[in-house]
Amino acid sequence: MQMGQLKRSLAATLTGATQVLCVAGMLLLGTLPAQAQQSVADSLAQYRQMLADDNPAELSEAKGAALWKTARGPRHVSLEQCDLGAGPGVVKGAYVVLPRYFTDTDRVQDLESRLVTCMTTLQGFTVAEASKSPFAASSDMQALVAYVAGQSRGLKMAAGATHPKELHAIAIGKSIFNYRAGTHDFACATCHGESGKRIRLQELPNLRERADAQATYGTWPGYRVSQGEVRSMQHRLWDCFRQQRFPEIQYNSEAMISLMAYLANNAQGGVYNAPSIKR
């Protein structure tokens, strides 16, 4: 089936539905002929393959590496003494053990919130300055994330899951994942709680299931072709909150980090492979 036909058949499936029914209808696109679904999935896979040898995220990684070493902020120091969990200055393997509990801040932190900690304690930025416009075009924060994340490629994911605050975060994240609300009465679980669901042409990972969680969590940050930017896990979740018609989730908030802790916990043991390429 050609793309045009496919679109028309999708349109026919959805015509006349209210917005709510419309999205419900999208979730039922199992009604598309299996062959058509397969050919769409195949072309998306081919497209990724074509770009994989030349991922623009590498430019962000290089920019992030330079930023890491550059003296910045009121104190004019670099981030080279930043402790991401494995000790001051250790970047290799840092991403795969996040989020985790940090004694100095007495909270569970992911990479972005930890970078903000380092930018404030080492470089002298205020929290507001350090967390300003993290999702802006060519953002420094996303470049730093790409750099640090890239230093964990090929390592096993092992986010913190022993400290009571880590366990608490995972539990909160799980309840956020299952919490239905908003104009559409959606939860993350509505779209990501069962295998084999799709919206339009996109397969939806079942984030409760280990293999899908590993393949998903382990491939962020990614260069999003549709946006022309490297995007972190936080950005992805922020975007899904929006898609879910929920109020905006705050950057580096406890809710955000708990949701990440839950997803990272479901992805334990998977091999990390990012920055990747995403749609």
At residue 203, φ and ψ (nearest 5 deg) are -75, 140
* Residue with the CB atom nearest ligand HEC in the bound state: 188
Among 150, 205, 221, 275, binds ligand HEC (CB under 6 A): 205
The correct pick among 192, 208, 231, 235 for binding ligand HEC (CB under 6 A) is: 192
Residue type, 279: R
Q: Helices 111-121 and 140-150, interaxial angle, to 10°?
A: 110
Residue 267 makes contact with ligand HEC by CB under 6 A? no
Q: How far is the CB of 233 from ligand HEC (least distance, A)?
A: 7
Long-range contacts (CB closer than 8 Å, 24 or more residues apart) made by 127-130: none
Question: Is the sign of the CA dihedral 153, 136, 246, 195 positive or negative?
Answer: negative
Instruction: Report, in Å, the least distance between residue 131 CB and ligand HEC.
Output: 20
Residue type, 141: M
DSSP 175-194: HHHH--BTTTTB-HHHHHSS
The DSSP annotation for 121-165 comes to HTT---HHHHTSSTTSTT-HHHHHHHHHHHTTTTPBP----SSHH
In this chain, which of 237, 257, 261, 267 binds ligand HEC, going by CB under 6 A? Answer: 237
Q: State yes or no: residue 216 binds ligand HEC (CB under 6 A).
A: yes
Q: Which is nearer to ligand HEC, 78 or 268 (CB)?
A: 268
Q: Which of positions 241-260 make contact with ligand HEC (CB under 6 A)?
A: 241, 243-244, 259
What amino acid positions are annotated as catalytic residues?
240
Sole binder of ligand HEC in the list 58, 240, 255, 268 (CB under 6 A): 240
Per CB under 6 A, 149 contacts ligand HEC: no
Query: What residues line the site for ligand HEC (CB under 6 A)?
Result: 23, 177, 186, 188, 190-192, 199, 202, 204-205, 216, 219, 236-237, 240-241, 243-244, 259, 278-279
